[in-house]
Amino acid sequence: MIDLMSVVDWSRAQFALTAMFHWFFVPLTLGLGIIVAVMETIYHRKRSEKWLAVTKFWMRLFGINFACGVATGIILEFEFGTNWSNYSWFVGDIFGAPLAIEGILAFFMEATFIAVMFFGWNKVSPRFHLASTWLTAIGASISALWILIANAWMQYPVGMKFNPDEMRNVMDNFWAVAFSPIAINKFFHAVMSGWALSGVVVMGICCWFLLKKRNVEMAMMSMKVGAWVGIIGLGLTMLTGDGSAVEVAKHQPMKLAAMEGLYDGTSGQKIIGFGIINPAKTIDNDEEPVLCEISVPYGLSILARHDYEAFVPGINDIISGRDIDPETGDTINTVGYAERIERGRAAQEALRQYNAAKEAGDTAAMVAYQAALEKDYPFFGYGYFDSVEEAVPNVAMTFYAFHIMVLAGCFVMLVLLVALFALHKKPKWLSKRLLLYVGILAVPIIYICSQCGWIVAEVGRQPWTIQDILPAKAAISDMTAASVQTTFFIFLFLFCGILIAELCILFKQIRLRSRLELDDELTSSKNND
C-alpha cells in the first residue's frame, strides 16, 4: 500500500509538472495570436508600414511560444498511456474522442495556416495572409476547446454508461459531453484568461521599452492593442468565473468548500477575501478552520447560488450527506460519504459477481447483478476508499490558490485600467518610472494568477481523476515508484531547459527590437528593396 501511494503521488506530481509547464505557453499562444491578428488587421486597413513592422515583431514572439507549447503538449498526452493506463482503459472511449477531434481538426488547421502566416508574406495576397493569421489564432482556440471539453468531462462525467462486458465506460451521448455547462464555462474562462495574460505580457514588454526610452512609438502602438485585449479578456474571465462558481457549487460542492476552507456551512454564507488556514483543522476536531480573516458577508452564497440567503454546504455537511439540490437550490439530505463507500464496494462486488455469472453462463444471475451494479454505480469510485478522509482534497492548497488567483486578478485589472487611462487621457503618466515598473511587475503576477487557476481546478477535484467514478489511486499504471521518480526529474530538467531557451530567445528578440527604431527599420527595408 505504501508503494502504491508513492506511485500515485509521484504520478500526480509528474502530470502536474507537465501540465503547469505546458500552461506557461498555452495562454500566451491563445491571446498573442488574437493580438497579432488585430495588429495585422490594422495594418491591412491603414496600409501603414509601421503597423506591418509591429505585427511582424509580435508574430515572431508568438511563433517561439507556439513551438514550445506544442513540445510540452505532446508529452502531456503521452502520459495518459504511460502513467495512467487504467484511466485510459476505463474511459478512453470517451476521453479520447475530444482529443482525437483536436488533433484531426484544430491542430492540422493551425499547422496549415501558421505556415502561410510566417512564410506567406509577398507570396499570397494580403487578404489571404490576414485570413491565415486569423485562422491560426482561431485554430488555437478550437484546439483549446476540445482539450477543455475532455477536462470538463473529468470534472462532470455525463453522456456515458458503464459496459460490464467490456469493463469500461462508453459514450452514449456525444453532445452531452461536448456541451456540458462546465465545458462551456471552462472553455470561455480559459481562453479569455489567455487574452488577459497576453495583453499584460504585451503591456509589460512595452513598459520596458518605455523605461529604456527605446522604440517609444512602437511601444505606444502595441500597448494600446495589448491593454484593450487584456482588459476585455480579464473582464470576460471574471464573468465566466462567476458562471464556473455556480457550476462547481452544483456538481463539485466539495471543491467549493475547499476553496473557502469551509467545514460547516450556513445560509447567507460569507466569503473570505484574505485568511490563513489553520493547519491543525481536520474533519474530526473542533479547531477553527481559518486563523484570521477578512471576509465579505453573504459573499459565498451570492457567488454559489446568486442568492444572498442560500445555504452553502461545508466539508462536514457534504460528508454527512447535507447538500444542495443542483436543480432547485434547496437544502436536501443526500447519501453521506460513509454510505457512498459501502455502496461503491457493493457496486464493485456486483461487477465481480456479474463476471463470474458470465463465465458460468448463468444469464438470470447476470441480469440480477447488472441491475445491482447500475443501482450503485454512481458511487463506484468511492469503493476504493478506506475512509471518508480520503475523499477530501488538499484544503490549504486549494484555498490559497483560489485566493491568490482572485487577489492577483484584481491587481492586474487595476493595472490595466490605469494603463488604458494613461494611454488615452494622461500620456505623460507613461514617463513615470514607478508606473512602468508596476506594468512590468504585472507580468509575473498574471502568470501566478493563471497557474493558480489550474491548481484550483485540478487540486480541488482530488482525489478524483473522474469525479465520483475513478480516484487517482485506481487510475495509475502498473509501474514502480522509482521509474516515475526517474522520469519526473528527466522531465523537470527538460521542461526547465525548454522554458529557459524560450525566455532567452524572447529576450534576445526584444533586445534586437529595442536597438532599431521603426523609422530606421523602414528606411533600411526600403534601401534593401
pLDDT digits (tens, 9 = 90+) for 187-229: 999 999 999 999 999 999 999 999 888 888 888 889 999 999 9
pLDDT at 384: 92
pLDDT > 90? residue 304: no
pLDDT > 60? residue 524: no
The SS3 call for residue 173 is coil
pLDDT at 521: 55
Residue 250's nearest CA partner among 313, 183, 161 is 313
Peptide bond into 463 cis (omega under 30): yes
Q: What is the pLDDT of residues 328-378, one digit of tens each?
A: 655 556 788 899 999 999 999 999 999 999 888 888 888 898 899 889 988
The domain boundary, picked from 347, 362, 388, lies at: 388
Same domain for 73 and 217, yes or no, is yes
pLDDT > 90? residue 8: no
Q: Is residue 483 very low, low, confident or very high in pLDDT (cuts 50, 70, 90)?
A: confident
The Cα diameter of the chain in Å comes to 88
Total tally of structural domains belonging to the chain: 3
Residue in the block written with cell 452544483: 250
Same domain for 125 and 213, yes or no, is yes
Q: What is the mean pLDDT of residues 63-86?
A: 83
Q: What is the mean pLDDT of residues 459-476?
A: 89
What is the rounded CA–CA span in Å between residue 186 and residue 152?
7
* 142-146 CB contacts, 8 Å cutoff, 24+ apart: 142/102, 142/105, 142/106, 142/109, 143/102, 143/106, 143/107, 143/110, 144/26, 144/30, 144/187, 144/190, 144/191, 144/194, 145/102, 145/106, 145/187, 145/191, 146/98, 146/99, 146/101, 146/102, 146/105, 146/106
Same domain for 380 and 425, yes or no, is no
Q: What is the mean pLDDT of residues 235-249?
A: 90
Q: What is the pLDDT of residues 413-452, one digit of tens each?
A: 999 999 999 888 888 877 888 889 999 999 999 999 999 9
Same domain for 269 and 343, yes or no, is no
The SS3 call for residue 347 is helix
What is the rounded CA–CA span in Å between residue 75 and residue 158?
27
Mean pLDDT in the chain?
A: 87
Residue 195's nearest CA partner among 223, 226, 230, 227 is 230
Residue in the block written with cell 457534504: 318
Instruction: Write the burial class of residue 96 (CB in 10 Å: 0-12 exposed, 13-18 middle, 19+ buried).
Output: middle
pLDDT at 1: 46
Same domain for 276 and 372, yes or no, is no
Same domain for 87 and 47, yes or no, is yes
Specify whether the backbone of 323 is left (phi greater than 0), alpha (psi in -120 to 50) or beta.
beta
Same domain for 351 and 326, yes or no, is no
Higher pLDDT, 518 or 397: 397
Q: What is the pLDDT of residues 490-510, one digit of tens each?
A: 989 988 998 898 889 888 888
Same domain for 324 and 360, yes or no, is no
Same domain for 75 and 139, yes or no, is yes
Q: Is residue 265 within 8 Å of residue 311, measured between CB atoms?
A: yes
Task: Name every residue whose Cβ is closer than 8 Å to that of residue 2 and which is 6 or more positions away in sequence.
Answer: none
Higher pLDDT, 267 or 233: 233
Higher pLDDT, 167 or 225: 225
**Residue 509 corresponds to which cell in the numbers above?**
528578440
Same domain for 266 and 290, yes or no, is yes
Q: Is residue 3 very low, low, confident or very high in pLDDT (cuts 50, 70, 90)?
A: low
pLDDT at 128: 92
pTM of the model: 0.90
Q: Could you list the residue range(s) of the whole structural domain that residue 316 is in?
A: 256-333
Same domain for 40 and 90, yes or no, is yes
The domain boundary, picked from 312, 333, 354, lies at: 333
pLDDT at 295: 86
Same domain for 366 and 508, yes or no, is no
The domain boundary, picked from 289, 316, 333, lies at: 333
Residue 416's nearest CA partner among 242, 229, 240, 239 is 229
